[in-house]
Copies of this chain bind each other. A is one copy, B any other.
Amino acid sequence: MVRNARKDALENRARIVEAARQEIASSNTTELRLNAIAREAGVGQGTLYRHFPTREALLVEVYRQEVDELVELAPRLLEGAEPVDALARWFDRVAEYARVKRGVLAAVEASVSRDLTTHSLGPIGDALTVLLHAGKTAGQVRDDVDAGDVIILIGYLSRLDEDEWDRRAHRLLRVILDGLRHR
């Protein structure tokens, strides 16, 4: 991360992420007991919190691969489809992740909304910005929304219970998409 990081610091960091990954994999639940992870990683609480100030920061790291995939998917979709359709497909992919790896969206949402004001939306926000911009340029997406707005709106995905998912997740994404359309 930083230039002159200490060797043990990096090791600890890696060990924490690994412990978190395993914890998530084994318990397949959204819950994450931070202190348990610290224990499993063989570090103190303080160490964990210094490396990852918030639970979300840790989740972002754990799901980095998934996040990266979403990010690089956006421009690819734009090449092969109308902007609004690209957005729709991107939504579908987000939903897929949100369903299987519940932590992904929760992490993104929380970390983004934390500094919505700072205009730094993180990688996911940037990907969304690209999609929205294309949509606006093509006159398919309303002009008065930004990536932050959309992340706020689709945030419900991370709060949906498993048993409501099938009935609501995709339908509500379509409602939001229609709301985003230029009229």
Q: Which of A14-22, A47-55, A146-154 is the contact stretch?
A: A146-154
Q: Distance (Å) between the CB of A98 and the closest chain B CB?
A: 14
CB of A91 closer than 8 Å to a CB of B: no
Evaluate contact between A149 and B168: CB separation under 8 angstroms: yes
Evaluate contact between A175 and B117: CB separation under 8 angstroms: no
Contacting residues of chain A (97-121) with chain B, CB-CB under 8 angstroms: 113, 116-117
Evaluate contact between A149 and B171: CB separation under 8 angstroms: yes
Q: Distance (Å) between the CB of A15 and the closest chain B CB?
A: 33
Main secondary structure of the interface of A (DSSP, over half): helix
Contact flags A164-183 to B (C-beta < 8 A → 1, else 0): 10001001100111111101
CB of A89 closer than 8 Å to a CB of B: no
Q: Which residues of B contact A33 (CB under 8 A)?
A: none
Contact of A152 among B142, B152, B168, B181 (CB under 8 A): B168
Evaluate contact between A148 and B171: CB separation under 8 angstroms: no
CB of A75 closer than 8 Å to a CB of B: no
CB of A69 closer than 8 Å to a CB of B: no
Q: Which residues of B contact A116 (CB under 8 A)?
A: 161, 164
| A116 and B152 alpha carbons, distance in the complex (Å) | 21
| A176 and B175 alpha carbons, distance in the complex (Å) | 7
Q: Distance (Å) between the CB of A7 and the closest chain B CB?
A: 39
Q: Which residues of B contact A117 (CB under 8 A)?
A: 161, 163-164
Evaluate contact between A175 and B113: CB separation under 8 angstroms: no
A-B contact pairs, 17 of them (CB 8 A): A116-B161, A116-B164, A142-B175, A148-B168, A149-B168, A149-B172, A149-B175, A152-B159, A152-B160, A152-B172, A153-B156, A153-B175, A176-B179, A178-B178, A178-B181, A179-B179, A179-B180
